[in-house]
């Protein structure tokens, strides 16, 4: 398959034909080579719901742009940007013209969802592991749709997340409704949520009691994951979603691994770990365990107390990696409420066997909340 699911090797006329072939929603698009400057410029063909518009994408000095005031390091970054906001286009980008492929996934019949039954409303997050949308699904109502339109993640890896979610059933883990796998791009469809914990922290001022209540739910979900022999490997505020009444839903299982009875998962160089949340053994030994998730949980506590700030302020990912490998951890925030202060200190023990387990953490939080 092509590197980008939105990139087609077609002429201007063929691009227009593809966009007019079906009743596409506003924002349907494809990107192709410029016929006048192939290999140098690209053309974005975009349907606004009634008409098809064309925009030239320039490449210069390893940058991609349609207007010079906003430039990007890659086509993926450009697509991400215009998914999140129209920024001068008649509408934001939604979905690319499908590419027919056949990469089957072992998904039971009741979990198969047709692309024609899905509508995309708003892109609420776009990053290296995919895009997350609020949308609607026929017979199910409001849903969250996750896709990898603008990532370089292979489809099999992306669909592993659906395979993991279909095996999990817990009130504090996002529920899988189904998946669309008949053509590029593939979609994972889950229950609706209101937004991420990170967004909630930065736009609200939750009380310590509310933070403890949220943390108890995260811990409950992580206890269940451990019982199922899974590790999450990317536990952070951005990957915690909130439903009605601040019901926690642990999500984004793109890095999750089943340990198959082993104590550790050995990470490979190609595995893109979230460096500011990774435990020291992830750097020094390339291995992760449920106790590595406990370290990440400590970083999550710091995010809660700091109201959603980026961990290790002022430090780059590489600086964090080097410092944490040598025994560094962030200072405890001033005026940090208990029990978060003690929990952070214990979650950040350099030796993983000295860190508490999630059952112990849950008991401390639960007793505190009584």
Q: For residue 24, which of 90, 115, 86, 131 has the smallest C-alpha distance? A: 115
> Which residues have C-beta within 8 Å of that of residue 367, sequence separation ≥ 6?
none
Only one residue has tokens 């925009």, namely 55
Distance, in Å, from the CA atom of 245 to the CA atom of 210, rounded to the nearest integer, reads 11
Catalytic residue among 77, 199, 234, 271: 234
Q: Is 317 a catalytic residue?
A: no
Cα(99)–Cα(120) distance, integer angstroms? 18
Dihedral angle sign, alpha carbons of residues 9, 14, 18, 20: positive
- Which tokens sit at 160? 């592993």
Q: Which of 173, 190, 38 is nearest to 124 (CA)?
A: 190
Q: Tell me the C-alpha distance between 106 and 207, whole Å.
A: 44
Cα 150 from Cα 128, distance rounded (Å): 8
Residues with active-site annotation: 234
């Amino acid at each position: 398959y092509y590197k980008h699911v939105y990139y087609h090797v077609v002429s201007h006329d063929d691009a227009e034909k593809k966009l007019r072939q079906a009743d596409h929603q506003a924002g349907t698009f494809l990107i192709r080579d410029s016929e006048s400057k192939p290999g140098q410029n690209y053309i974005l063909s975009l349907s606004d719901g009634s008409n098809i518009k064309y925009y030239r994408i320039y490449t210069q000095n390893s940058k991609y742009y349609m207007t010079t005031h906003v430039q990007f390091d890659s086509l993926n970054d450009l697509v991400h940007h215009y998914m999140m906001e129209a920024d001068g286009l008649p509408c934001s980008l939604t979905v690319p013209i499908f590419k027919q492929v056949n990469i089957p996934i072992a998904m039971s019949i009741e979990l198969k969802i047709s692309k024609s039954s899905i509508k995309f409303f708003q892109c609420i997050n776009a990053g290296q592991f995919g895009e997350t949308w609020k949308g609607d699904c026929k017979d199910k109502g409001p849903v969250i749709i996750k896709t990898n339109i603008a990532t370089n993640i292979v489809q099999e890896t992306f669909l592993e997340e659906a395979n993991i979610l279909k095996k999990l059933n817990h009130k504090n883990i996002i529920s899988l409704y189904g998946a669309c796998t008949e053509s590029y791009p593939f979609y994972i469809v889950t229950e609706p949520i209101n937004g991420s914990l990170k967004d909630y922290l930065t736009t609200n001022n939750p009380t310590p009691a509310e933070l403890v209540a949220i943390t108890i739910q995260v811990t409950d979900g992580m206890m269940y994951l451990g019982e199922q022999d899974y590790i999450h490997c990317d536990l952070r505020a951005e990957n915690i979603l909130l439903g009605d009444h601040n019901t926690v839903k642990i999500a984004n299982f793109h890095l999750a691994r089943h340990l198959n009875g082993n104590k550790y998962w050995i990470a490979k160089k190609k595995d893109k770990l979230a460096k500011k949340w990774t435990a020291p053994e992830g750097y020094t030994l390339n291995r992760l365990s449920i106790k590595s998730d406990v370290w990440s949980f400590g970083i999550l506590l710091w995010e809660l107390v700091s109201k959603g700030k980026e961990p290790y302020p002022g430090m780059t990912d590489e600086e964090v990696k080097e410092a944490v490998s040598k025994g560094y951890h962030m200072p405890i925030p001033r005026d940090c409420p208990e029990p978060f202060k003690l929990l952070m200190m214990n979650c950040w023990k350099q030796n993983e066997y000295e860190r508490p387990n999630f059952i112990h953490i849950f008991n401390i939080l639960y007793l505190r909340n009584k």
